[in-house]
Structures are given as structure tokens and as C-alpha cells.
């Protein structure tokens, strides 16, 4: 399909593994698709450009909803967008009269427009208010770093950031906030850099990376949201439907990998030392590829964010979706509600 040049200009940001992700969805004329993480609209534009299909996009960020106007102008009633988390896609689509779809794509984590806006407080590269909320509700990072105990902060930083020096970081935060409230990203980043050395291999970039990741994931309950989104996709995909998920760090990818392997009946075993483990339920998915797909060298050179990206895709079959599971599913770390922590 020919797409207006102005539309292409407004969606200049090309998401990571875009072509590979949309290829995995098998887009065709007359299909019905879901982009669960609209962001800057790159995936949505690619889907709508490939076929005369119907697309429903979601995003919890009000700013992302505002950015979608260019697609409404270009594609009319073939495109619609709703504000909400992708874990709520089943309810949101039901309100629109949709109970099944041909494919779902999820691009996890924080979007480039969110990172690049200092006022959102996601990045340690810019000075801005300590916010980090993907939506407009809930508590901010400022509230967290100035309220939780040393032990609670250390647990969050270790669990969601996989930071080995989490206790050292939490002690530094407690000491700094005893002198003055921490309200800015630059201040927090400097506190962390003073106690976390830069890694010699240079792979981990800034020493503040893991702590900022941990706070963001915790504040937005990203891993719990991922668990709910995967289960919702399983329920709304029709037989033959496709699911494609792009993850950016090991916590996310571990959850996606475990979910899809379990649903595909690949539960391990089968060696001479361990008998094959039979799945408890009929498989609901088959894997497109056994291993995750990474960005090409060319894409990684052009877009550093893509270096850690992993794409996993699967095809839904005719078996019923597995029952919903509790918060401990597929390796999701325990999530203590913020209201419990600040009592």
C-alpha cells in the first residue's frame, strides 16, 4: 500500500525489529490485529501499510493516544486506538464488539518518546522530575525513593534491576534523602554513580541503568502487566492467530520464553537423566522458532537500543486457553503493592 509522505514523517521513529515482528504476524487483507503498545505508532503504521485490514491499538500513555491522530487521518475507520494497558486488551476489545483477533504484537518496556522527554523522568541522560509513570495515575519514582525503607528499596533494585550492588545503592539513597528530598533524575543518577563503578567491559553503559530500570518496572508493574497481557492474548487469538513479543531485558524475555514454551508443551526433560515431563494441559501455541530472534548488526549499529532486543513469536491452535494463574506465574517476581509498602 502507498502511504502518504506526511504520515511517514510523523512516524519517523522505527521501532526495534519492526519488519521481523510484523513478518511474524502474517498480515493479510481482511484480518483483525492488535498493537498492544502503540508508542510512536511504528508497528501500527507497518501493519496498516501491508494490507487492507482492521487494527486496534492500545497504550496506557495519554500522550501516545494524542500522537495517533495522523493514523486516523490516513486510514480512517480501519484504525482505532484506546487508552489502557495491554493486559486489559480482552475487556477493551470486548467493549468495541471484538472477541477474537488474528494477531497481537507487543513491544515491551518504555517507548522512545517517553525516554526522550525529560519531563517524564525515565532517563538518567536528561535532568527532569523523578516521575517514571507510563500513564497519568499512580505514585511517582520521587515518592518511592523518598518513602520506602532501605530494605524495600534494595529488594526492588535487586529484583527488578538485577543490580548486585542494590544494598549499597539503597544505603546511598537513604543517606542522601536524609539531607534533602530527591526530586530530580540527575540527582538520583549522581547518587548511584558514586557507589556503583562502571563495568570494565562497558556493556552496561551508565552505572545508573539498572536502578532506573528497576524503579520504572516496579512503579508500572511491568512484569505483572506482561503476565496479564500474554494470558489475554492467548484468550483472544483465534486458531492460527499469531503472537509476537519484543523484550529488552532478561526479566521480560524470561517470562515470555517460559510462557510460550509451557503453552507449546515444551516443558523439558527427555534425557537419560531426566524423564520427559508431560504437560498438564493440551498445548495452546506452537513456536514459530525455538530461539529468539535478535536485531541484525546493521540495526544494532543504527539503533543502540536494539542490541538487547529479542523477538519471540508463536501460533495459536484450536485448544482452549489455559486458566489464569496467580502472580507467581512464569517466573514473575513477587510484586508488593505500593500501598502496602508505604503504610
pLDDT more than 70, % of the chain? 86
Task: State yes or no: pLDDT of 268 exceeds 70.
Answer: no
- Per-residue pLDDT, 110: 86
Boundaries of every domain in the chain = 5-112+222-331, 136-219
Q: What is the DSSP letter of 13?
A: P
For every residue of 281-297, DSSP letters joined together read S---EEES-SS-EE--H
Q: What is the DSSP letter of 51?
A: S
Cα 150 to Cα 170: distance, rounded to the nearest angstrom: 5
Q: Which CATH class for the 5-112+222-331 domain?
A: alpha beta
Instruction: Quote the mean pLDDT of the chain.
Output: 89
Full-prediction pTM beyond 0.85?
A: yes
Q: Could you read off the pLDDT of 122-164 as tens digits, one per residue?
A: 999 999 999 999 988 889 999 999 999 999 999 999 999 999 9
Range 27-53 average pLDDT:
97
Which fold would CATH assign to domain 136-219? DNA polymerase; domain 1 (1.10.150)
More confident residue, 330 or 118: 118
The angle at the Cα of 268, spanning 162 to 276, to the nearest 5 degrees, equals 155
Q: Where are the alpha helices (DSSP H) in the chain?
A: 5-10, 18-25, 42-50, 62-67, 69-75, 89-95, 112-116, 141-147, 150-161, 166-179, 185-193, 209-219, 222-236, 250-263, 297-302, 338-341
Q: Could you read off the pLDDT of 68-111 as tens digits, one per residue?
A: 999 999 999 999 999 999 999 999 999 999 999 999 999 998 88
Asked whether the beta carbons of 240 and 157 are under 8 A apart, the reply is no
CA 226 to chain CA centroid, Å, is 7
- Per-residue pLDDT, 343: 39
- pLDDT band, residue 304 (cuts 50/70/90): confident
Amino acid at each position: 500500500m502507498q502511504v502518504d509522505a506526511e504520515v511517514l514523517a510523523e512516524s519517523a521513529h522505527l521501532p526495534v525489529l519492526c519488519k521481523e515482528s510484523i513478518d511474524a504476524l502474517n498480515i493479510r487483507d481482511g484480518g483483525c490485529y492488535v498493537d498492544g503498545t502503540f508508542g510512536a505508532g511504528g508497528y501500527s503504521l507497518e501493519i496498516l501499510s501491508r494490507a487492507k485490514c482492521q487494527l486496534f491499538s492500545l497504550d496506557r500513555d495519554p500522550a501516545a493516544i494524542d500522537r495517533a491522530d495522523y493514523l486516523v487521518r490516513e486510514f480512517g475507520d480501519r484504525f482505532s486506538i484506546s487508552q489502557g494497558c495491554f493486559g486489559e486488551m480482552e475487556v477493551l476489545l470486548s467493549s468495541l464488539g471484538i472477541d477474537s483477533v488474528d494477531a497481537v504484537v507487543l513491544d515491551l518496556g518504555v517507548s522512545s518518546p517517553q525516554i526522550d522527554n525529560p519531563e517524564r523522568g525515565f532517563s538518567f541522560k536528561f535532568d527532569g522530575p523523578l516521575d517514571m509513570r507510563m500513564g497519568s495515575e499512580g505514585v511517582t519514582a520521587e515518592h518511592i525513593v523518598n518513602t520506602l525503607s532501605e530494605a524495600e528499596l534494595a529488594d526492588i533494585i535487586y529484583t527488578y534491576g538485577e543490580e548486585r550492588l542494590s544494598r549499597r545503592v539503597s544505603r546511598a539513597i537513604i543517606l542522601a534523602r536524609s539531607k534533602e528530598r530527591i526530586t530530580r533524575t540527575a540527582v538520583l543518577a549522581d547518587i548511584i554513580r558514586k557507589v556503583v563503578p562502571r563495568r570494565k567491559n562497558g556493556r552496561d553503559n551508565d552505572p545508573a541503568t539498572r536502578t532506573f530500570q528497576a524503579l520504572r518496572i516496579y512503579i508500572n508493574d511491568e512484569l505483572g502487566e506482561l503476565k496479564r497481557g500474554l494470558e489475554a492474548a492467548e484468550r483472544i487469538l483465534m486458531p492460527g492467530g499469531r503472537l509476537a513479543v519484543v523484550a529488552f531485558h532478561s526479566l521480560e524475555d524470561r517470562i515470555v520464553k517460559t510462557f510460550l514454551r509451557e503453552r507449546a508443551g515444551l516443558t523439558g526433560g527427555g534425557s537419560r537423566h531426566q524423564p520427559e515431563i508431560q504437560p498438564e494441559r493440551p498445548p495452546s501455541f506452537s513456536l514459530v522458532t525455538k530461539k529468539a530472534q535478535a536485531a541484525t548488526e546493521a540495526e544494532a549499529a543504527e539503533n543502540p537500543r536494539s542490541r538487547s532486543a529479542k523477538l519471540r513469536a508463536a501460533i495459536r491452535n484450536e485448544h482452549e486457553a489455559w486458566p489464569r494463574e496467580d502472580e507467581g506465574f512464569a517466573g514473575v517476581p513477587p510484586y508488593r503493592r505500593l500501598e502496602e509498602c508505604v503504610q
